[in-house]
Amino acid sequence: MVRNVGLAKTPVSKYSAPMNSHESNSELSEGRLSTKAQRFSWCLFDFANSAFPTVIITAIYVIYFKDVVVGSERVGESDKLWGMANSIGAAIVFLTAPLLGAIADFSGKKKLFLIVFSVLCIVATSLLAFTGSGTVSLAVGAFIVALVGFEGACVFYNAFLPSLVPKHEMERLSGAGWALGYLGGLGCLLLCLPIALGKTYLHLIPAVVAIWFALFAIPAFVYLKDRAPTHAVSAGQAIRQGASRFISTVLEIGKYKNLVKFLAAFFFYNNAVATIIVFAVAFSKDSLAFTTAQNITLIIIMNIVAAPGAYAFGWVAKRIGAKRTIVITLSMWLAVVAGAEAAAWPGLFSKSGAQNCFWGVAVLASLCIGAIQATSRTFVGQLAPEGRSGEFFGFMAFAGKGSAIVGPLVFGVVSSTFDSQRLAVASIGFFFLIGLMMMGFVRTAETRARDAA
């Protein structure tokens, strides 16, 4: 057993969230661990922060970075710089997330960490409004800081999941949060659409994203509550004991065999997911000649489809289990990659035929993306020991950001070296395939029962 350094003694099953004057204890007495306001505000945070990946990483700012900041004539160079910026931000989270998660668990300050990293993302995103032609260093630097803030906040946001609902209800809440997140990304994108199509004030779009994030994150900052530690701790004690517990977990990580196996699989398939998020619009623009209007329409449709897809797969996971749901979605992802390869294959389709093929591919991808992410989050929540969600979601971020370093970097290097985004897409399929194969080694209660029979 890993040493429980300074853990609170109150079992999570006995935790009752603080109530406000408009809420009663009735839902807590029915097996809930939180109030409706806390669960809704937790989902609303996904609505808030999804504006950043949707508008900045995937839909609009990536094009602004390529066409204005770097220059449209340097496609390979802009792919390389964008991939490098994403990889550096991921590397910082990769190196710090598990330790910070352990510190947050010990100190009972997950909400403080959530607020700090959120503000970091909001401020750095605002700085992107000051970028323009030739401001590569400012754009890359501000984007890296914003990405660290976004991903760091996600670690502590995810860590609240096990304290909000029992394990058997995590799939539904996680799926609902992800679905609302896609609606949030879509809402902010629609708000930015007139600016994007007007093309005059494109540089102001990051400011809109920052305001959106800040506004809709407020309920989470107000309603989410930490479970207090059994005794007061200083900042120094929290850092020392959190580091001690992190080191203990690392040294004894072999005792969590299922977690290790799952994180290994997650490392590979998340490489592919992270790369798709970073380069989807760049691929459609450069390889399939999508216009800005087409790309924005593409992202809108993907978000519309992804929201019910994430929610529906939450129900699927509840019925058939998280592992089987992940395996199904990984198989669907392989079909997505094959379709994208076909769309970009020289001479296989006309220009309009290739674009139509990619529209179908994008719809299938949008069904998969929320499902794989929400279900992966649920699986870690179910594997995490009581009172250590921050630390274990830190390890998920460790594996996820480790993969996010590799995937976009590989795509950017292959695209730049061979001047072929189609070859770069092939690397995405490789990562999905390895992840799917490695999921076969992950054992669940269901698979152990079948083996015993």
What's the sign of the alpha-carbon dihedral 36, 391, 147, 300?
A: negative
> Of 73-77, 209-213, 371-375, which gets the smallest average pLDDT?
73-77
Structure-token pair, residue 386:
């009581």
Mean pLDDT confidence for 299-323? 81
Contact assessment for residue 146 and residue 56, using Cβ atoms and an 8 Å cutoff: yes
Which CATH architecture group holds 34-452? Up-down Bundle (1.20)
Q: Which of 148, 434, 395 is nearest to 250 (CA)?
A: 395
Residue 349 Ramachandran class (φ > 0 left, ψ -120 to 50 alpha, else beta): beta
Report CA dihedral (20, 23, 27, 31) to the nearest 10 degrees. 0
For residue 339, the one-letter residue type is: G
> Of 76-80, 240-244, 334-338, which gets the smallest average pLDDT?
240-244
Contact assessment for residue 293 and residue 354, using Cβ atoms and an 8 Å cutoff: no
DSSP 397: H
Confidence of residue 144 (pLDDT cuts 50, 70, 90): very high
For residue 324, the one-letter residue type is: R
For residue 24, the one-letter residue type is: S
Q: To the nearest whole percent, how much of the chain has pLDDT over 70?
A: 77
Contact assessment for residue 83 and residue 417, using Cβ atoms and an 8 Å cutoff: no
404-440: b or e for each residue (b if 16 or more CB lie within 10 Å)? Answer: bbbbbbbbbbbbbeeebbbebbebbbebbbbbbebbe
In angstroms, the CA 14 to CA 232 distance is 20
In angstroms, the CA 163 to CA 12 distance is 7
Place of tokens 């993302």: 121
Place of tokens 């066409």: 67
- Does pLDDT of 453 surpass 60? no
Q: What are the contacts of 251-259 at 24+ separation with CB within 8 A?
A: 252/2, 255/1, 255/2, 256/383, 257/443, 258/383, 258/442, 258/443, 258/444, 259/380, 259/383, 259/392, 259/395
Residues sharing a CB contact under 8 Å with residue 240, sequence separation 6 or more, in sequence order: none
In angstroms, the CA 288 to CA 354 distance is 7
CA angle 130, 68, 63 (to 5 degrees): 100
pLDDT in tens, 51-107: 998 899 877 898 888 888 987 666 567 777 887 888 788 778 777 776 777 777 767
Contact assessment for residue 174 and residue 314, using Cβ atoms and an 8 Å cutoff: yes
In angstroms, the CA 66 to CA 77 distance is 9
Higher pLDDT, 220 or 87: 220
Confidence of residue 180 (pLDDT cuts 50, 70, 90): confident
Residue by residue, DSSP assigns 117-130 as: HHHHHHHHHHHGGG
Mean pLDDT confidence for 164-172? 78
pLDDT in tens, 263-299: 888 888 988 887 887 777 778 877 888 887 788 788 7
Mean pLDDT confidence for 245-261? 71
Distances (CA, A) of 179 to 271, 324, 346, 367, 397: 22, 20, 36, 11, 20
Count of helices and strands (H, E) across the chain: 17, 0
For residue 114, the one-letter residue type is: L
pTM above 0.85, yes or no: no
User: Between the ranges 226-230, 318-322, 435-439, where is the mean pLDDT highest?
Assistant: 435-439
Question: How do the domains of the chain map onto residue ranges?
Answer: 34-452
Residues sharing a CB contact under 8 Å with residue 97, sequence separation 6 or more, in sequence order: 151, 152, 155, 394, 395, 397, 398, 401
Contact assessment for residue 205 and residue 55, using Cβ atoms and an 8 Å cutoff: yes
